[in-house]
Amino acid sequence: MELTDNLNIKGFKPLITPEDLKQKLPLTDAAAHLIAQSRRVIQSILTNEDKRRIVITGPCSLHDKKATYEYAHRLKKLQDTFANKLLIIMRTYFEKPRTTLGWKGMLYDPGLDGSYEIEEGIFRAREILLEIEKIGLPCATEFLDPIVPQYFADMISWAAIGARTAESQIHRQMASGLSMPIGFKNSTDGNLSPAVDAVKAAASPHSFLGIGRNGQVIIAETTGNKFGHIVMRGGSEGPNYSAEYVAFAGVMLQKAGISNGVIIDCSHANSNKDYRLQRNALIDVAMQVKAGAKVISGVMLESFLAEGNQKPDKPEKLAYGRSLTDGCIGWEETEELVSIFANSVK
């Protein structure tokens, strides 16, 4: 019989099950309390019951444990300083969507050498999350592959669905079953409607195919996620962080019956893909918050120890604390901007 299946598959590799990974790297009681409590705070900020604001900040993508932990320790000090004004969540992004080709993140290629040791990447991601939560910070990530959440969604306090996947039925279904608040980014052209539709879709129950903790293929039946919200990241026509765009978003949400606030992403199209322009977005948003804009629940920044970015290379050739993907602001500017935003919160 002529073969008709797996014609373009070079091979299959077994992968550790989510259950086995969690047994090897279990969630501690302290980390579980931190995650559960931070999720509750995020929910209360989104619904404006808690008057603080959210700051989601960190590298565009993680690649180096040592630099990641140093950044987390510094960020924890900022959180302690502004605890009455802000909930700071560290970006821990392990998957990176690529428009064509390129490094897809630590989860897929932890060795930065094209070897694609995905099981090692999954272990490393969970180890990093455990350490950051031991430091005392909640973690944020973007979920790209729908299988990945079974491996470490239990350790994530806030998650994003990206601009390229917010219209995907698979990702909306997945979000409906996730346990943390989910931010849907507006489309790359700047259109907010797909993100609003995604929030509504994810709030509803769904049934879909997935994998269970033991690796078995299952049908997942969800109750819906009531804490979906939009993330305004600008678009091909320019930034959308200014007051008129935020007011327009508020009207759209009100008409759609969505009571959750919005997060403003100061990077990506809101900075015209120039990390140095993130400060313009943040200062503008801070002024809106100071003026009483209740619909703004928080901001996102791309930030690391050193400013700028560099191309992926052998680990020993990389500059310490500098991003491999999008350009990031450096630590000194991070402190400055977080302080500005904190001081805008009444």
Residue 291's pLDDT band (cuts 50, 70, 90): very high
Residue 99 predicted with pLDDT over 90? no
Residue 119's pLDDT band (cuts 50, 70, 90): very high
d(CA 157, CA 180): 6
Work out the average pLDDT over 98-122. Answer: 89
Strands (E), the chain: 53-58, 86-91, 139-142, 158-161, 182-185, 207-211, 217-221, 228-232, 262-265, 296-302
Residue 105 predicted with pLDDT over 70? yes
Transcribe 29-44 into DSSP letters: HHHHHHHHHHHHHHHH
d(CA 199, CA 182): 8
Which of 332, 233, 218 lies closest to 273 in space, CA to CA? Answer: 233
Residue 247's pLDDT band (cuts 50, 70, 90): very high
Strands (E), 48-133: 53-58, 86-91
Q: Are 271 and 233 in contact (CB under 8 A)?
A: no
Residue 301 predicted with pLDDT over 70? yes
Work out the average pLDDT over 117-140. Answer: 98
In the structure encoding, which two tokens stand for residue 296, read together?
């703004």
d(CA 59, CA 327): 9
- Share of residues in the chain with pLDDT > 90 (%): 92
Determine the pLDDT at residue 141.
Answer: 98
Work out the average pLDDT over 301-314. Answer: 95
Work out the average pLDDT over 238-242. Answer: 98
The CATH class of the 18-344 domain is: alpha beta
Q: Residue ranges of the domains in the chain?
A: 18-344
Instruction: Give residue-wise pLDDT tens across range 193-206.
Output: 999 999 999 999 99
Determine the pLDDT at residue 100.
Answer: 66
Determine the pLDDT at residue 97.
Answer: 79
d(CA 273, CA 281): 12
Q: Which residue type, as a one-letter code, is found at position 200?
A: K
- Share of residues in the chain with pLDDT > 70 (%): 99
- How many C-beta atoms lie closer than 10 Å to residue 22's C-beta? 18
Q: Which residue type, as a one-letter code, is found at position 195?
A: A
Determine phi and psi for 215, rounding to 5 degrees: 90, -5
Determine the pLDDT at residue 96.
Answer: 83
Determine the pLDDT at residue 102.
Answer: 82
Determine the pLDDT at residue 32.
Answer: 98
Instruction: Give residue-wise pLDDT tens across range 59-76.
Output: 999 999 999 999 999 999
Give kind and range of the element (H or E) at residue 80: helix 65-81
Residue 98's pLDDT band (cuts 50, 70, 90): confident
d(CA 193, CA 40): 27
